[in-house]
Each structure stands twice: as structure tokens, then as C-alpha cells.
Amino acid sequence: MTIEVKNIVKKFGAFAALDNVDLKVGKGELLALLGPSGSGKTTLLRIIAGLDWPDAGEVRIDGEDALGHGASERHVGFVFQHYALFRHMTVFENVAFGLRVQPRAIRKDEATIRARVKELLDLVQLDWLANRYPSQLSGGQRQRIALARALAIEPRILLLDEPFGALDAKVRKELRQWLRSLHNEIHVTSIFVTHDQEEALEVANRVVVMDKGRIEQIGSPGDVYDNPATAFVHGFIGESIVLPVEVTGGSVRLGGRPLNIAADGAASGASKLFVRRHDMQIGPAGTGSLEGAVRHVRSFGPIQRAEVTLSGGEGKTVIEIDAPRDRELQAGEIIGLQPRRYRIFAAQE
Amino acid sequence: MPTQSSFVTPATPMRAYASTADLAISPPSHREASDRARAVASPKDLRTEPAPVRFVIIALAVTFLTVFVVLPLVVVFASAFSKGISAYFSALAEPEALSAIRLTLLVAAISVALNLVFGVIAAWAIAKFEFRGKTFLITLIDLPFSVSPVISGLVFVLLFGAQGYWGTWLQANNIHILFAVPGITLATIFVTFPFVARSLIPLMQEQGTQEEEAAISLGASGLQTFFRVTLPNIKWGLLYGVLLCNARAMGEFGAVSVVSGHIRGETNTMPLLVEILYNEYQFVASFAIASLLAMLALITLVVKTVLEQRLDEGQTPRDDPRDH
């Protein structure tokens, strides 16, 4: 099923939680809404589910106007960050709930309901917990039950609000892969909200990066990482070195000193130079357009991370770079630096 | 545990305005429970007081309770049975006594039922929605606790009395509110309104709206959501509120006294009859009725203790993300 969101505006008092948001989600996609807290991603998800209402705009699920229907009529599976399992019901009854509240005319008989719940519990690999209560389960188990419960109504779309946000790192990682493979299995159009870029890049087919109620970029995980559309996306996804530069005509200057890089069509004026930590080429002193003194080196895994004090300008700028282990760095060493890949964005006021 | 202390809240104002029925209701004994838990956690010693000091403190507490709670109760029952069991039961079988018992049960049944509905609605509104004037509404719910019951009664006299706002109209249409069952019921509803709402608000606030949202997203209607999700989650708190509401409704004296008119065999509730009989030196009859109220209090106390245990058990520990 497809989801289409058009010109959605939602204000809480003077604060614009969503500011003219447009989004199209294709059939069978697994889409991530990624952004810092307060970016409006959860509000957007709740509006699609019918748990919140926009001040203006349109929501279409499979071409059909969704705003004309309440949450209970939209057939949307919703998974909450804090699971929201019914605490007085067993796991079995939690999953069966959506089937038991169906109107009498279409309600399945008890045997069918039992078979369906069994099937779903098998799907989330927790059939052995059917008679437990939510308080007797671990966080990861609760979230899988919440998912089974949402899937019980055969939802047209599945919405997950920070589904792994309340779990510890290890469980979160397991569940991520599990969700990925579950989606491959059942192929329901899904949107999940997260503030964890790693999670978004790892799980989703497509990532929507949001900030301050606006969509900053929509693209594949590789796309938003390699070709960030805005300064915000570059800064939010992946670690970046950010340097304040001045663009005049085609040349780029840092603290008055020209850098040996092309402006790449960036407009003249105060700008910001973004370089990934591993995209700084390291050479002997005197090579490269930047020079700095190594302050501190930490080595772990395949890389060494160095803090470097840039010389020139104010002389106080400290950056962190990642270098391969084969180029050994020493504290105190003066090195030359040259950005291999970089982006220049106009500095915002 | 925040949930426990929140249940103390409704009890606190009640004690300040205790009437005959809830005199015997002690404040919830959560302290004991937490002490017990602590004793298990570190069996060594947190009771650093030397034995004699402990003994004196405990003895003081016990003496105090004996003198001020147990003794009066004993006196009630002793006086009631002072002329023998047959005198006791014949006093209760008096038409006046029976009529008072009937009236009290009727008034309590109506006001508890109505306050159950109003209380749930008010608590629902306050706990689950954000709206302007919410703080004002909360204050309003507490009003009956902070107003003297006599004033609560007088309000109705001012409204419905012969000299009151609607008195002339009511008289012209031959509607009897004051000095009749409707007046007594109204006064009782007013005085007992806060109990249900007060015992539900903290509980519902703590539970939030997520389970309801989940139910609705699963296709449940509003009513299904209420009866299948909300109500089961609040049932012990609701029973607790109803129990206290009932105790107060049956035992209310001040407000009812003002609006009752003390018509014998017609508008006397049990607490009113106790006073009348006592003033007429019919001690056995008076204390016989009083003993019924005292028994009500004792039963309330027992049920309340059971409910509090259920409430504590019902509180699932707040979802701990690291409980894998």
C-alpha cells in the first residue's frame, strides 16, 4: 500500500511541529524518518496513524483520503516506543485484541482467532510466552509482541515509533536485523521513526532526514551519507569536520589563507566546509592546503583517531581525523592535510 | 514508589473532615510495607534505636490508639448490648430504625452510583486530555473536601429552601427537594464527590494514554477501549474510591443534618437517628444504630486493606529497558 502526505502543517501553539511536509512512500518500502528530537518525525507518524490531526494538508493511504477516518478505521499497525502492551492481558490476549474487537459481522470465530494468534507468535518466535503477562517479559520480547499485535489486524501499513529506543544497545542491534528480515518476509509498507542514524542507514530502504518540522533530504542510505543535500544532513549523518570558510569567486579561504580546493560552484560569502573524518588526506608537513600539529592519537580497530590543532588563522581550531593504521602518527608531529572529498554549504545566520 | 504516595493524597483531606463513619479509617499503612521491604533487603539492622526506646515508642503509639480508637469502639458496642442482646435487636427492629437504615442505604446507593459515573468521567477528562481550565477543574473537585459539611448543606437550603432561589417555583409545582430524599441525596453527592475522582486521577495519569491509543489503532471503538482497556486497568482504584465514597455517604452527618428536616421515620438517616435517640436518652437504641455504623467502618477498613494490596500488586514496575 502506498502512503502520500501532502503539505502537512501542524502547530503546537506558536511552535510549528510540521511545516509543509510532502512525502510519498511506495508499496512495500521500509522507510526511516530520521531526525533529532523535536524535528517533527513522531508527529508526522502519529498523523499518518490518526492519533494526531494536522492543521492543514492531506494524507492518502492507497490513494484514499485518510483524514476522513479515525485511527480505528485506518487499518494501520502502530508500534509504540514503550510497547503499550495491555498490562492486564496475557501475551496471547494482547495479540488477539485487534481480532476480538472487530465488528460482529466480520469477526472471526474463536478457532480462527487462536490459529492466527499462534501463527503471529510463531512469526515473532515467542509462542512459548503466550500465557505470560507483559510485566514478565524483557523489553525486546515486549516489543516483538507489540509488533505481532499490530500485525494481527493485517494492517495496510505498519508504523513504528522509535521501536528500539527503549532497549539496550545489544538487543537493539539484534532487533534491527530481525525487523529487516521480517520486512523481507511480509513486505508490508512500513515507516519507522528513529533518531539513531546508524539504525536508519542499516534498516531502511530509504531515509527521510527531518529537522525543525521540515524534510531536509530523502534518499537511499548511501545517498544521504555520500551526497548530503544540506549542511544539516552532512552534520547529522556521519561524523564531519566543519570549518568556517570564506568563498570569493572560485577560491576558498580559511582564516584568510587560501585553500587549494575548488569552490564547486558554492556561492560567494561566509560558508562552511564539511569533510568526513576519513576523507582528510594526511601528508608530510608542507604538503596539502592545511597544516596542523597532532595533539593526541588513539588507535582502535582498523583506524587511528587523531586530534589535530590547525596552524594559521586563530591557531586554536582542533579537528578530529581518522587515519589508517599503516600511516603511524605521533603526538607533536606536524602534518599536512588535504580534503579528498568535501562539501561547501553557505553558512546560515 | 510514587504510586503509593499518590494514594495517600485522597485519604489526607478525609481525615481532616472525618465524620462518624470514617473516624475509624486509619490512613493507609504504606509505611509499614516499605519498612518490611527494607528489613528484607538488609536484615542486619536499620533499627538502630536501643530496645527500651523502641519499646517506649511502640507502647506510646499503642496506648494512643487504644484510648482514642479502640476504647470508643468498645464503648459503642458495650452500650449497645448493655441491656442484653434482645434489647439490641428490638431497638434495631423499631420502625424508625428500619426506616433510617432503608433511607441510608437508598441515599448511599444513589450517590455512590452517580459519583461513580461522574468521578470516572472527571478523572478521565483530567488524566487523559489537555484543556484550558484543567487546574481549575481539579480545584473544584477538591472543593467538597475543603468546605465544612454544614456549609455544603446550607448551599442546598439557599437554592431549594422556601426563601431560596428556586423555592417559590418548587412550592408552586409541588416538588419537594429540601426536607426530603432528593435533598439528602444531593447533599450526600456533593460531599462525597471527590472520593472516586481523587482515587482515579493519579492512577490514570500514571498509566497515560498509550494503551488506549494502541487499542484504537487496533480498531477498537471508544466504548470497547473503555471497557476492555481503561476499566480493567483502573478497577482496583475505582473500587477503592467507591468504598470510601460509600463509607462517607452512609456516615455523613453535617450536610445531611442541615437539609434533612429530621422528620421521624421519613428523613432521618442512621447518623441523624443516632443523635436524636441519644438526645432522648434512649442509649441502647442510639448505640445499637451506632454499632451498625461502626461495623460498616470496620468492614470498610478490612476491604480497604485488601484493595490497597491489590493496587500495589497491580502496579507493574515501570518498563525497565535493561531487564533483558
Contact A102 B219 (CB under 8 A): yes
Residue from B3, B211, B218 whose CB has the most chain A CBs within 10 Å, to mutate: B218
As a whole number of angstroms, the distance between CA B79 and CA B82 comes to 5
Question: Residue A34: which pLDDT band, with cuts at 50, 70 and 90?
Answer: very high
Window from A255-264, B32-41, B182-191 with minimum mean pLDDT: B32-41
As a whole number of angstroms, the distance between CA B215 and CA A229 comes to 40
Over 50: is that where the pLDDT of B15 sits? no
As a whole number of angstroms, the distance between CA B318 and CA A165 comes to 15
pLDDT at B168: 84
Please count the other Cβ atoms lying within 10 Å of the Cβ belonging to residue B96.
17
Over 50: is that where the pLDDT of A328 sits? yes
State whether residue A138 sits within 8 Å of chain B by CB. Answer: yes
Over 50: is that where the pLDDT of A205 sits? yes
Residues 6+ away with beta carbon under 8 Å from B47: B54
Question: Residue A135: which pLDDT band, with cuts at 50, 70 and 90?
Answer: very high
How far is CA B2 from each of CA A48, B30, B125, rounded to the nearest angstrom? 35, 11, 21
Alpha helices in A72-138 (DSSP H): 91-100, 110-123
pLDDT mean across residues, chain B: 82
Please give the full DSSP string across B113-146, using - where no structure is assigned: HHHHHHHHHHHHHHHH---TTHHHHHHHHHHHHH
State whether residue A153 sits within 8 Å of chain B by CB. Answer: yes
What distance in Å separates residue A130's CA from the closest CA in chain B? 18
**Taking CA atoms, what residue in A is nearest to B216?**
A72
Residue from B129, B132, B206, B217 whose CB has the most chain A CBs within 10 Å, to mutate: B217
Segment B58-65 mean pLDDT:
94
Q: Is the Cβ–Cβ distance between B259 and B178 less than 8 Å? A: yes
Q: Of B210, B229, B321, which is closest to A80 when you measure between CB atoms?
A: B210
pLDDT at B10: 40
Residues 6+ away with beta carbon under 8 Å from A319: A241, A243, A280, A292, A307, A308, A310
Over 50: is that where the pLDDT of B128 sits? yes
Over 90: is that where the pLDDT of A99 sits? yes
Window from A23-32, B169-178, B229-238 with minimum mean pLDDT: B169-178
Question: Residue B25: which pLDDT band, with cuts at 50, 70 and 90?
Answer: very low
Contact B217 A50 (CB under 8 A): yes
Residues 6+ away with beta carbon under 8 Å from A106: none
As a whole number of angstroms, the distance between CA B121 and CA B234 comes to 13
The C-alpha cell of A196 is what? 539513531
pLDDT at B47: 62
pLDDT at A260: 82
pLDDT at B177: 85
User: Residue A68 burial (CB < 10 Å; 0-12/13-18/19+)?
Assistant: exposed
Among B245, B271, B146, CA closest to B193: B245
Contact A71 B217 (CB under 8 A): yes
The 10s digit of each residue's pLDDT in A51-62 is 999 999 999 999
Q: Is the Cβ–Cβ distance between B300 and B104 less than 8 Å? A: no
Contact B319 A75 (CB under 8 A): no
The 10s digit of each residue's pLDDT in B268-296 is 999 999 999 999 999 889 999 999 999 99
State whether residue B313 sits within 8 Å of chain A by CB. Answer: no
What distance in Å separates residue B131's CA from the closest CA in chain A? 13
pLDDT at B16: 36
Contact A82 B228 (CB under 8 A): no
The C-alpha cell of A130 is what? 503466550
Sign of the alpha-carbon torsion through B168, B172, B175, B178: positive
As a whole number of angstroms, the distance between CA A245 and CA B184 comes to 82
Segment A115-132 mean pLDDT:
93
SS3 A199: helix
Contact A153 B219 (CB under 8 A): yes
Residues 6+ away with beta carbon under 8 Å from B177: B156, B160, B170, B183, B186
Over 80: is that where the pLDDT of B317 sits? no
